[in-house]
Structure formats: structure tokens, C-alpha cells
Amino acid sequence: MRSTKKRTLSWVLILFTAASIFCAATFFIIRADSTSPIKREDAIPYSGEFLSYEISDGRYFLSFKGGRVAELYSGHSSLSDLLGSLKEGDRLDLLINPKNNYVIEISSENGVILPLERAEKEIGSGNNAFLWLGIIAYTVFALLLIIMLRGLVDSVKKPRSKKEDK
């Protein structure tokens, strides 16, 4: 009786672990897709009068007249330098990735401040990490399934003795 409880508990634990790994893997793959690069023509354009920028929890936000707030990918190197050069009232043209709502290009009448190619490259580097995490998690999930199936087959093949039930 006692070994049956232990066996059941271990199966529940393995199933819970497998389900958790599957959910994590799915999250990583979906996250990788949401940060994948897009074509310029697929981006959402926005033009507005710049008010200020704010850094909150390591995330960068641009505020515009009229209440619009746009988020930049926080992995950009020297992002503070780029934003520090902006002045209140500057007219900015943005391109926004519709998959994740990140600003992927900033330009003004003085030229391009954040080029699309640079933004997509930096966002894409984070994309690769999520993709690999997803692949590794799915591999671990597959191995757990194999272990579970082997254990199930073994338990069906092996007849239980009366001692195990006691």
C-alpha cells in the first residue's frame, strides 16, 4: 500500500513537472515570435509632439502631447544618450512594431535618431535567447514524456506481487 502511494505521488510530480516545462517552453516560443523583426511597411507609423521620456523599472517610455505614451525596447545600448538629445516640443516620427508595441524607429526633422535596422538587431538578439530557451524546454519535456511512457510500459508489463500491496 505504501509503495503504491509513493508511486502515485511520483507520477503526479512528474506530470506536474512536465506540464510546467511545457507551459514555460510555449511561453518562450511565443515571446520569441513577438520580438521577431518585421518589415518597415508592416510597422505602425505615429507622429507627435515630444514632451518627455521616463525610465521606469528599466523600461523607457516616450510621452507625447495628447497623452500618447510609447515604449522603447530597453536593451538598446546608449538609449539614454539618444533620448537626452530630444527637446520638449520636437516633432517625432515613430515606427511601432504591432507584435509587441515597441518603438523600432525614431526620426525627427533633424534626421533619424534610432534607425529601424539597429532597433530590430538589438530586439532580435533577445529573440534568439527566448527561442533557444523554448527549444531546450521542449527537449526536456520530450525526455520527461519518454521517461513517463517507459515507466508506464514497465508497470503494465511487470505483474505486482502481493507484498507490494501490503
What is the reported pLDDT for 136?
A: 94
What is the reported pLDDT for 140?
A: 93
What is the reported pLDDT for 85?
A: 80
Q: What angle do CA 97, 102, 103 make, to 5 degrees?
A: 85
- The residue ranges of every structural domain in the chain are 2-35+126-165, 40-115
C-alpha cell at 79: 538609449
What is the reported pLDDT for 65?
A: 93
Mean pLDDT of successive 10-residue segments in the chain (166 residues)? Answer: 68 86 90 76 92 84 91 68 83 90 86 80 70 91 88 71 54
Considering the entire predicted model, what is its pTM?
A: 0.62
What's the gap between Cα 50 and its chain centre? 29
What is the reported pLDDT for 8?
A: 73
Does the structural domain 40-115 have CATH classification 2.40.50.1010? yes
What is the reported pLDDT for 137?
A: 93
Note the maximum CA span of the chain.
85
Interstrand relation of 69-72 and 102-108 (parallel, antiparallel or unpaired): parallel
Residues 6+ apart with CB under 8 A from 115: 105
* DSSP calls for 102-156: EEEEEEETTEEEE-HHHHHHHHHHHHHHHHHHHHHHHHHHHHHHHHHHHHHHHHH
Residues 6+ apart with CB under 8 A from 48: 64, 65, 66, 68, 91, 92, 94
What is the reported pLDDT for 161?
A: 58
